[in-house]
Each structure stands twice: as structure tokens, then as C-alpha cells.
Structure 1
Amino acid sequence: MSAADTTTIRIRERVLSILADELAHPGEPLDVYVPISALGADSLDAIELTMEVESELKISFSDDEWFAADMTAMQIVERVVAKVNAV
């Protein structure tokens, strides 16, 4: 496994952990394939999640790159991985 693969896996795990902490119901796994709005997130929650991920991973998204409530957790992970790889 390459260093890039390891980094991608760590980013994925960390982002999913942040999302699960905020969106999953206690004792239930995070469904990564449904929009976060279906998990109770609204547009303000999506912005707060964006800011939390930015802070945690030391990256920055422009306003048009922020997460949206209609995104799934996997789409968010893909966006974060792409951002980290672009740096």
C-alpha cells in the first residue's frame, strides 16, 4: 500500500468519524449513501460540518465548495480527499 493510499484511508476514516459523531444516532452506524439531510442535517449543519472538517484537516474550501445537505457522506469524503490531494 502506498503512502498516498494510506493518507486517503486516514482522511476517509477521520471525515466519516466527524460525520458519524454529528449525524448518526447512538448505536446506529452512519449510512454513507444517503443525503446528510436524511440524517437530520440542514444547510446550516452542512456549513458547520464543512468548517469542522476544514479545522480538523487544516484545509480550506471556497464558498462554492462547501458541503450541501443533499450530499452523501461518501460525496463529502470524495470532496475532502480531492481537496487534500490538490494541496
Structure 2
Amino acid sequence: MSAARTTAVGIRERVLAILADELTHPGEPLDVYVAISALGADSLDAIELTMEVESEFKISFSDDEWFTAEMTAMQIVERVVAKVAK
């Protein structure tokens, strides 16, 4: 993984890009402070996002750490940054 992707800012940018790609239409901004369910995500989408982020950052979340549709994009970013920092 490149150094840019391991900084908190780099992680934040990449996670938000993944979420925007999956949850918004091209050119539409991602509202990082609303639950991803408000953006159309359901529990299956949240699991798929978890797996995509795990693959991107070569990390693993336990079942109780997986993303939920009630989480905001910022909560997801915080969870990923914390996991990568370990």
C-alpha cells in the first residue's frame, strides 16, 4: 500500500471515493453526515461496502465491526482509519 493511502487523509479520501462511487450518481456530492441508508443503502449494501474496504486496505473487520446502513460516511471513515492505524 502506498504511503499516501496509509495517512489518515489518504484513507479518508479513498474511503469516501468508494462510498461515493457506490452510493451516489456521477457528479452528485456525498453527504457524509447522513446515514448511508438515506442514500439508498440497505444492510446487504453495507456488508458489500465493508468487504470492498477490507479488500482495498488489506484489513479485516470482525462481524461486530462491520458497517451498518445506519452509519454515516464519516463514521465509516473513522472506523477504517482506526483499523488501519492498528
TM-score past 0.5 threshold = yes
Q: 1:27 Cα shift?
A: 1.9
Structure 2: unaligned runs, 5 residues or longer: none
4+ aligned runs moved over 4 Å, structure 1: none
Please state if 1:59 is matched with 2:59: yes
TM-score by length of 1: 0.90
**1:61 is matched by which residue type in structure 2?**
F
CA distance in 2 between counterparts of 1:40 and 1:73 reads 13
Structure 1 residues 2-81: aligned runs within 5 Å? 7-81=7-81
SS at match of 2:7: helix
1:36-72 CA-partner distances (Å, limit 9, x unpaired): 0000000000000000000000000000000000000
TM-score by length of 2: 0.91
CA distance in 1 between counterparts of 2:17 and 2:35 reads 16
CA distance in 2 between counterparts of 1:8 and 1:21 reads 20
CA distance in 2 between counterparts of 1:56 and 1:33 reads 23
Instruction: Give the total of aligned pairs.
Output: 82
